[in-house]
Amino acid sequence: MQSQSPTHEFFPAPPSQTWKRYPRLLGRLGMFTLIRELSLRGNFLVKVAVEVLWLGILLAFYETVFARTSMVASWPKQDYLFFVGCFFAINGVLETLFLENCNEFSNLVRTGDLDFLLLKPIDEQFLITCRRVDWSVSPNIIMGFCVMAVSLWNKGWEFDALRVALFAITFTCGVAIAYSFMLVLTSFSVWLVRNQSLMEMWWLFSSLARYPREIFQRGWANSLDLVFTYILPILLVVNVPSRVMVKTIEPKMVCFIMVVTVASLAASRWFFQRALRSYRSASS
Amino acid sequence: MRNNRVPTDQTVPNHDSEALTVKMPPIIEVDHISKNYSVFRKKEGFKGAVQGLFKREYNTVEAVKDISFSIESGEFVAFLGPNGAGKTTTLKMLSGLIYPSQGTAKVLGYVPWERQDQYRRQFSLVMGQKNQLWWDLPASDSFELHREIYNIPKQQFQQTLGELIELLGVKDLTRQAVRELSLGERMKMELIAALLHRPRLLLLDEPTIGLDVVAQVTIQKCLREYHERNKVTVLLTSHYMRDVEALCRRVLVIAHGKLIYDGELSGIRDKFGQEKILKIEFQADAPPPDLSQYGLVGTIEGPTVELRVERPNVAEVLSNILARHTIADVSVQDPPLEQLIARVFEEGGTGE
């Protein structure tokens, strides 16, 4: 060290520790993960190809279904395609930003590598659930929006600013509710250490979210609709934003999803903090 | 044990430009802290595994038992103990990673396990067996991320980084992917990452583990120089006595979760060193055969023998040997610190 260097001086925290820091940090984390992904480009390209293929199969399947019927559970073809696009976009956001991080959480707990994340002077939930951006699934978001745009075009949809604004709000709410579910399931890793079965539960939830509520509104499945709309409201995630764009706007459901969003974010954060209190840190 | 150490005096100017001596509070204050773990006791075999599905038995492991100590600002303290003694558990409680079962602690004026951002900005934990840098990226990218997380002003970041790179001699390595660095080089990068935000407290958990002698000496030199220049408080755990002898004057010894010694490194000999080593060179070609009556016979090389003798008996043994044999040379030595510490660990401090 240079002899003329000043005496040790601790860097005090800047006066304003605002939320603005987080988007900047997310951008930086996203950039680093992109650099990493591009340096392993073979893996990156294969993952992108798989996602494109998966959407293609899904669209081909619905083409086949709608070749034989004009409606599925009261959803005409173009509306249903919008729903599929909305699901793809929401799922794309979740997988791009959070899924890989949540999946890896149990590994961090098992190896004790979580230690370094907890030591950083930043919100633990942010750092744990957002530290890596999975760019290979990000094309799903674009593909989802493209499918939505094409379906609206085919449907002859006329621009409606209110619907677009409500869609933006409820789309964000949908992402937040699904994120909360993911966070709760992830938090269990602190106690269970191995979390495979819980992440399978996440796949079950996301499978439920990909269908319109009307599918569950008959016979015995009615109870599923009630449970997964009002108790574990995973059916709201895609249904509400899709409906505000292509069906009649239901103010009650729009309000409900906003209340559910606030409640689920608060509850999942509380649960996550409880889980971190029980963290034992693997011995080194 | 010295739980109530005298606080460091520090002279600060008062508003009348007169020197005023104030007592600075300790950087670390640990008060009767304990940590218990409940550990699942798995029964053997398939039957035991099935039984474990319905009824589980747990053992309580007392990793840390009621320890108290305090560390003043600017001290470089070694935390010694065998594997499983509770060193790392204590460091993890001090860094706020885990909660104690009992007791309290204050570090830099904060309760560590409340994990306040203001507290986490002021210390660093380096673990020799773990890696916090991004594996696939150059260390410089991790440093940049570190700058964002700790909100370090860019100019100060560049200055500190430059100083640390020069200190550790790693100018050409920061743009190389971390996975391509040797263990010693990686540890240097870990140290840079830990020091970038200029922490006031540095917790080092076996920072030289697995390193070759050259890398160990480099890390020791850097830590000593950094400590001397910046007067940071350092708490170091290490299994290498060379690290401890090179860096620390004060040691805390922990065994079986209990603090059994807190004092000067040299004081360990007084407290636990019950033996002396007599190194005797006989005039004859070989030492006499009946030396075991005086003490424990150690290495024999030609006419020279090492004899371990209880400290109070040294004078008597020496006079007896001198009376019966012709001696060419004799010296009385303390046992090597490493051996002494190993014995303290084995006995868990019961030898005091």
CB contacts of A15 in chain B (<8 Å) are none
Find the residue in A nearest to B155 (Cα): A11
Confidence at residue A69, expressed as pLDDT on a 0 to 100 scale: 83
Give A219's pLDDT tier (boundaries 50, 70, 90): confident
C-alpha distances in angstroms, A90 versus A61, A125, A145, A168, A228?
A: 20, 20, 10, 11, 18
- Contact across the interface for A116 and B132, Cβ inside 8 Å: yes
3-class DSSP string for B290-323: CHHHCCEEEEEECCEEEEEEEHHHHHHHHHHHHH
Query: Where are the domains positioned within chain B?
Result: 9-14+27-269, 274-333
Give B125's pLDDT tier (boundaries 50, 70, 90): very high
CB contacts of B137 in chain A (<8 Å) are 32, 35-36
- Contact across the interface for B149 and A122, Cβ inside 8 Å: yes
Over residues A155-183, the mean pLDDT reads: 95
Q: Please state the φ and ψ torsions of residue B27, each to the nearest 5 degrees.
A: -70, -40
How many angstroms away from the CA of A232 is the closest CA of chain B? 28
Q: Would you say B202 and B124 are in contact if contact means Cβ atoms under 8 Å apart? A: yes
Over residues A156-178, the mean pLDDT reads: 96
Interface membership of B327 toward A (CB under 8 Å): no
Highest mean pLDDT among A161-175, A214-228, B9-23, B322-336: A161-175
Instruction: Give the mutation candidate from B230, B232, B234, B237 for the A interface (greatest A CB count, under 10 A).
Output: B230
Interface membership of B2 toward A (CB under 8 Å): no
Q: Would you say B33 and B105 are in contact if contact means Cβ atoms under 8 Å apart? A: yes
- Contact across the interface for A115 and B136, Cβ inside 8 Å: no
By Cβ distance, the residue of A1, A32, A40 closest to B145 is A32
CATH architecture of B274-333: 2-Layer Sandwich (3.30)
Find the residue in B nearest to A16 (Cα): B151
Collect all residues from A whose CB is shorter than 8 A from any CB in B: 1-2, 5, 7-11, 13-14, 17, 21, 24-25, 28-29, 32, 35-36, 39-40, 112-113, 115-116, 118-122, 124, 127, 277, 279-281, 283-284
Q: Which residues are bridge partners to A108 per DSSP?
A: none
Instruction: Give the mutation candidate from A9, A11, A21, A34 for the B interface (greatest B CB count, under 10 A).
Output: A11
Residue A13 has pLDDT above 80, yes or no: no
Highest mean pLDDT among A66-75, A193-202, B243-252: B243-252
Confidence at residue B131, expressed as pLDDT on a 0 to 100 scale: 85
Confidence at residue B37, expressed as pLDDT on a 0 to 100 scale: 85
pLDDT tens column, B275-332: 888 899 998 888 888 888 888 888 888 899 999 898 888 899 999 998 888 899 999 8
Residue A61 has pLDDT above 90, yes or no: no
Pairwise pLDDT comparison (A225 vs B286), residue with the higher score: A225
Confidence at residue A284, expressed as pLDDT on a 0 to 100 scale: 60
Structure tokens at B249: 């004057």
Confidence at residue B32, expressed as pLDDT on a 0 to 100 scale: 95
Residue B5 has pLDDT above 50, yes or no: no
- Contact across the interface for A25 and B149, Cβ inside 8 Å: yes
- Contact across the interface for B97 and A279, Cβ inside 8 Å: yes
Q: Would you say B48 and B42 are in contact if contact means Cβ atoms under 8 Å apart? A: yes
Burial of residue A59 (number of CB atoms within 10 Å: 0-12, 13-18, 19+): middle
Confidence at residue A237, expressed as pLDDT on a 0 to 100 scale: 96
Instruction: Give the mutation candidate from A2, A3, A7, A8 for the B interface (greatest B CB count, under 10 A).
Output: A8
pLDDT tens column, B161-172: 999 999 998 888
Interface membership of B147 toward A (CB under 8 Å): no
- Helix intervals (H) in A112-250: 114-119, 124-130, 139-155, 161-187, 189-192, 196-209, 222-226, 236-246
What strands, in cross-sheet order, belong to the sheet with B58-71? B58-71, B28-40, B102-107
CB contacts of B148 in chain A (<8 Å) are 21, 24-25, 28
Q: Rounded distance, CA B280 to CA B306, Å?
A: 7
Q: Rounded distance, CA B252 to CA B256, Å?
A: 13
User: How many CB atoms neighbour CB B43 within 10 A?
Assistant: 14
**Domain B9-14+27-269 is classified in which CATH homologous superfamily?**
P-loop containing nucleotide triphosphate hydrolases (3.40.50.300)
Q: Would you say B138 and B185 are in contact if contact means Cβ atoms under 8 Å apart? A: no
Pairwise pLDDT comparison (A261 vs A46), residue with the higher score: A261
Q: Rounded distance, CA B174 to CA A91, Å?
A: 37
Over residues B167-188, the mean pLDDT reads: 90
CB contacts of B98 in chain A (<8 Å) are 279-281
Out of A38-42, A195-199, A213-217, B123-127, least confident range: A195-199
Confidence at residue A236, expressed as pLDDT on a 0 to 100 scale: 96
For chain B, positions 204-263, list CB contacts with chain A under 8 A.
205-206, 225-226, 229-232
Interface membership of B149 toward A (CB under 8 Å): yes
Over residues B114-130, the mean pLDDT reads: 91
Interface membership of B179 toward A (CB under 8 Å): no
Residue B73 has pLDDT above 80, yes or no: yes
Residue B109 has pLDDT above 50, yes or no: yes
Over residues B143-152, the mean pLDDT reads: 91
Instruction: Give the mutation candidate from B39, B98, B203, B232 for the A interface (greatest A CB count, under 10 A).
Output: B98
Residue B23 has pLDDT above 70, yes or no: no
* SS3 at position B164: helix
Interface membership of B197 toward A (CB under 8 Å): yes
Over residues B135-147, the mean pLDDT reads: 90
